[in-house]
Amino acid sequence: MEILGIDIGGTGMKGALIDTKTGKLTTERFRVPTPKSRKPEDMATVFKTIVAHFNYKGPVGCGFPTITQHGVCKSVGNLHPSWLNVNIKELFSKACGLPVTVINDADAAGFAVMNYGIGKGEKGLVVIITIGTGLGSGAFYNGKLIPNFELGQIPYKKHMKIEQWAAASVKKRKNLSYKKWAKRFNTFLKLVEIIICPDLIILGGGTSKKYGKFKKWIKINTPVKAAHLGNHAGIIGAATAVTHET
């Protein structure tokens, strides 16, 4: 079964058709920059554009970059404040005229890793950390999703949330070396380890492809692996979420 998955990020909105049996992309990825306003109406227009690009008429899966509950935005994250309490599912469904399943973007990436990647078959508490504009996280216990496990929201020192200090976007903005940034990221992982004591941490997002460049500065007791699905994980997982919706 082919399903359209759309991954919404702070800088780009990306989509592709996914074979949900294999987790493989059956089309080229199509990307449109996230509107600078990051407002609901503007992002809904881009969502419609992505669906139209594929001339697609089935259910759409969407990974959304903040906490969602039953399709409703419960935290604005890095988006415009007007997103708070917006029914994302209704907004995007109305824009494209198709049924839309909405989940947290890190949860979407987690679906991909746990169904098609190195997380498949892993037991216990597995946490997927997506390293990008923010620090997203998805948690699975014995393969079952625990939704909205947003560990990047942990307050840290003067920062309202630790992702404002340790995300990949901070590395880029402050031109940090891998060593300096990795030490910050390791601090974040230490907090994760202390708070929830996971059995395995899997790194996702574009930065996970460069794990070899900062691996030596990650010094925690919990096993850490790179997901290897890179920027496609969010799209794959968004499509997979449609098949998990009850």
Q: pLDDT tens-digit profile of 18-41?
A: 999 999 999 999 999 999 999 999
Q: Are 6 and 13 in contact (CB under 8 A)?
A: yes
Instruction: Check residue 101 and give its pLDDT.
Output: 97
pLDDT average, residue stretch 71-81:
91
pLDDT tens-digit map of 143-189: 999 988 889 999 999 999 999 999 999 999 999 999 999 999 999 99
- 46 pLDDT more than 90: yes
Most confident region among 128-132, 184-188, 201-205 by mean pLDDT: 184-188
Confidence of residue 95 (pLDDT cuts 50, 70, 90): very high
State mean pLDDT over 44-65: 97
| Residue 208 binned pLDDT confidence (cut-offs 50, 70, 90) | confident
Which CATH number describes the domain made up of 118-226? 3.30.420.40
Could you identify the residue written with the tokens 């790194």?
203
Mean pLDDT comparison of 26-30, 110-114, 130-134, highest-scoring range: 26-30
Where do the domains of the chain lie? 2-104+232-243, 118-226
What pLDDT, on a 0 to 100 scale, did the predictor assign at position 66?
Answer: 87
3-state secondary structure of 135: strand
Answer whether 118's CB lies under 8 Å from 229's CB.
no
Contact 87, 31 (CB under 8 A): no
- pLDDT higher than 80, residue 231: no
Backbone phi and psi for residue 208, each to the nearest 5 degrees, phi listed first: -65, -25
Q: Domain 2-104+232-243 is in which class?
A: alpha beta
**Given this chain, do its domains 2-104+232-243 and 118-226 carry the same CATH topology?**
yes
- E strand or H helix that includes residue 189: helix 178-196
Annotate 35-73 with three-state secondary structure: CCCCCHHHHHHHHHHHHHHCCCCCCEEEEECCCEECCEE
Q: Which of 142, 146, 126, 140 is nearest to 198 (CA)?
A: 126
